[in-house]
Structure 1
Amino acid sequence: MLDKNKVRLGIAPIAWTNDDLPELGKENTFEQCISEMALAGFVGTEVGNRYPKDTEILKKSLNLRKIEICNQWFSAFLLTKPFQEVERDFRMQLAFLKEMGAKIIGVSEQSYSVQGKLDTPIFGHKYEMNDSQWKTLCDGLNRLGKIAKEEYRISLTFHHHMGTVVQNPDEVDDMLANTDPAYVGLLYDTGHFAYCGADPLGELTKHIDRVKHVHLKDIRPEIVEKVRCENLSFLDGVRMGTFTIPGDGCIDFVPIFQTLENYGYEGYMLVEAEQDPAVANPLEYAIRAREYIAQKTGL
């Protein structure tokens, strides 16, 4: 059983309103989203595109529901933009997160990413970095992580993601091997490891000492195979139901939870299962996810 004093549970707003496909869930309001999160029994959330930018308004809305911000995605372009430009945007987001009391920022390198391109197949079209680009990326992450930790008391966690320059296990290995553990952690995502053909449990075991934030999502392998065979995009797969909540797909989460428990993991486990809310009712799936996690972890 995971320790309730160390591990907190959150859920991402992407099940209600999709940032990459704004037409999915356009009928769902911010207030409905966070109210249903609370109703389902979650205490944390990441930041969605419908969330108020005014921190006082956001705090009041979240406090009423006893929910807190635990992380926010940050799109870095360390390979294609001047570092000073990336740093400026990074600091703006850090200031927002510090004001909200968050402890984590989730960074994804979006240079050359195909995850958001509707006309580009997700398999076989990702960009491969050369040695110079690897150095630029890792040096940049170290610099950003040092700023986050030393000036804002926020931990940088790197989000490996389908369609990006750090997608596959060997790329995650290289990124972690060439960054400073004091400044760069791993945002461990079960769904993205499984999607690219990796073993989520094996990757967790390998990198458990770098994991600072956890995304829990399952995959439907028949949809992944359809995406592969028909040369479909990442977002095509999202529409079709590539992802789902823990316990509703093919990933065995019990040994994953056990590994986190054995290591003494502290931080958030956050359900992040983007689906079409018109097909997968967000409240229903949130309740199902919460019940599954309670059953398997005692949380």
Structure 2
Amino acid sequence: MTVPLDRLRIGSAPDSWGVWFPDDSLQVPWSRFLDEVSQSGYDWIELGPYGYLPTDPERLNAETASRGLRVSAGTVFTALHRGPAVWEDTWAHVSQVAELTRATGAGHLVVIPSFWRDDKTAELIEPSELTPEQWRALTTGTERLARRVRDEFGLETVVHPHADTHIDSEEHVARFLDATDPAVVNLCLDTGHYAYCGGDSVKLIETYGERIGYLHLKQVDPEVLARVRANGTAFGPAVQQGVMCEPPLGVPEMEPVLAAAQQLGVDLFAIVEQDMYPCPPDQPLPIAQRTRRFLRGCGA
């Protein structure tokens, strides 16, 4: 008998439709994304790259409401390990996204660290390991950002470990969590990125359960991942090679992750994200429909 996963609110994101940029000729129009995510049976979406969906709150709310959709979060990329020099530019962008996020009724801001190597060429932008001073800048900067986002916009900040960033592996995620205030900074656990970087999502949920504030659901193809690791492939090309795949075809196994999240006893967004930029425009919808059926079969 399938145990109902009634603490998980399932949604999807522009990422699952191959959307990585505000405007790109290889991406489906935003109206098609909204139509198809609703058609697939999801109730929740994320905003995706700022500017992809309409940025006028009244229009955006009308477009989502007409399709029975609600917004769970906005997303920003930051480079807070670079210290005070980047603060003003960071806040200018974050506040813009946070304002729209709040206007939709969403309650979360997903913060993704910047890449340490070029997402297309694999050229190093900066070292893959931070210095102690950079770690302090990252953790104190994230706390500062999260407090201001909470105080000015009422949003919870959840930091997203991500491939080819400085918060990626089990070691780096634990170091980040241990050095930040749980009252203001929590985690968006992306099961695919964490597996990509060698992490165990169930173990993380069981160890740092009180810090799990949000979930991204995805899987990686272990055979493609092995080639990616062997060749030192950057994340962007790895996605084009199919490193991310739909469940239940990859890892981590989804049922134990969902069960561990349910056992936390708190309401969590669990947003499906299958990185696949670029992709043919007709590819996302059937994948999204199959994934929603699979998750229903798991009790979600």
**TM-score (normalised: structure 2):** 0.90
What residue is the counterpart of 1:107 in the other structure? 111
Q: Distance in 1 between matches of 2:21 and 2:248?
A: 24
Q: Within the alignment, does 1:91 sit opposite 2:91 as a pair? A: no
Aligned pairs, number: 292
Deviation, 1:206, is 1.5
% identical aligned pairs:
23
Counterpart residue number, 1:295? 297
CA distance in 2, matches of 1:254, 1:280: 28
Equivalent position of 2:206 in the other structure: 205
**How far apart are residue 25 of structure 1 and its match?**
4.1
Structure 1 pair 91/21, CA: closer, same or farther in 2 (3 Å)? closer
Q: What pairs with 1:157-168 in structure 2 (closer than 5 Å)? A: 157-168=158-169
**Ranges in structure 2 where 5+ consecutive residues have no aligned partner:** none
1:104 is displaced (CA, Å) by 0.5
Q: Indicate if the aligned counterparts of 1:243 and 1:273 stay in contact, CA closer than 8 A.
A: yes
C-alpha distance 97-20 of structure 1, shift in aligned 2 (>3 A):
closer
Q: Partner residue of 1:284?
A: 286
Larger displacement relative to structure 2 (230-239 or 271-280): 271-280
CA distance in 2: counterparts of 1:200 and 1:126, whole angstroms: 26
Aligned partners of 2:173, 2:25: CA distance in 1, in Å?
30
Q: CA deviation at 1:76?
A: 1.1
Cα gap change, 1:144 to 1:199, in 2 (>3 Å): same
> TM-score, normalized by length of structure 1?
0.91
1:247 aligned onto 2:251: no
1:118 correspondence with 2:123: no
Within 2, Cα distance between the matches of 1:30 and 1:268? 22
For residues 94 and 191 of structure 1, what CA distance do their matches in structure 2 show?
Answer: 25
Q: CA deviation at 1:248?
A: 2.2
Superposition RMSD in Å = 2.1
Letter of the aligned partner of 2:102 in structure 1? K
**Greater CA drift, 15-24 or 197-206:** 15-24
Shift of 1:148: 1.8
Deviation at 1:265, TM superposition (A): 3.0
What SS class does the counterpart of residue 263 from structure 2 fall into? helix
Question: Could you tell me which residue of structure 2 aligns to residue 35 of structure 1?
Answer: 35
Aligned to 2:153: 152
Q: What's the counterpart of residue 226 of structure 2? A: 225
Residues 17, 24 of structure 1: 8 Å contact kept: no
Q: Distance in 2 between matches of 1:196 and 1:215?
A: 15
Alpha carbons 2:12, 2:37 under 8 Å: kept: yes
Question: Does the 8 A contact of 2:40 with 2:285 survive in 1?
Answer: yes
Letter in 1 for 2:90: V
Could you tell me how far 1:136 is from its partner in structure 2? 0.8
Deviations 1:35-80 (A, max 9, x none): 1111111011111343112111111110001111111221112133
Deviation at 1:2? 4.1
Cα pair distance change 1:156/1:198, threshold 3 Å = same
Helix, strand or coil at the partner of 1:164: coil
Q: CA deviation at 1:3?
A: 4.7
- CA distance change for structure 1 residues 109 and 291 in 2, over 3 Å: closer, same or farther? same
